[in-house]
Amino acid sequence: MKFFVDNWYLILLALVSGAMLMVPAIKGGVSGGISAALAVQLINREKAVVIDVCSAGEFAAGHVGGAKNVPLADLESRLPAVVKNKTLPLVLVCASGGRAQGALAVAQKLGYANAQVLAGGLKAWKEAGLPVEKA
């Protein structure tokens, strides 16, 4: 017991560092998103709708083919008009995946249970060698 009392700071340091090592594993498992290959399968097999939550300027510079642009700020008001069938899979995309994570919560709140985020966003899509359209 004396060891624990005398070295409490070492034990605390070990616990904190262990927790920091676990964060990426937990975060990736819960909300990491889907790969570009899986997104293509959803689009081709299940008629998934791709929603790009970037600004209009970013969307015009390059986007996933067939994607519909609904900026994150307008998502809650415009998504029900753009995608009427809430049972269709949604693939949410942004430049790197960060904004799409926020969009996922909005989509799920609106009742889109099959909404998913493209892990890595448009950057990962390009790295996978998949086509990008420009408006």
d(CA 100, CA 85): 20
Low-confidence ranges of the chain (pLDDT < 50): 28-31
Q: Which residue in the block uniquely carries the two structure tokens 């005398």? A: 6
For 101, the enclosing helix (H) or strand (E) is: helix 98-109
Per-residue confidence (pLDDT) for residue 25, from 0 to 100: 57
Per-residue confidence (pLDDT) for residue 17, from 0 to 100: 84
Nearest Cα residue to 68 out of 46, 48, 85, 42: 48
Which letter does DSSP use for residue 89 in this model? Answer: -
**What token pair was written down for 30?**
């819960």
Per-residue confidence (pLDDT) for residue 29, from 0 to 100: 41
Per-residue confidence (pLDDT) for residue 32, from 0 to 100: 72
C-beta separation of 115 from 85 below 8 A? no
For 105, the enclosing helix (H) or strand (E) is: helix 98-109
Q: Does pTM top 0.95 for this prediction?
A: no
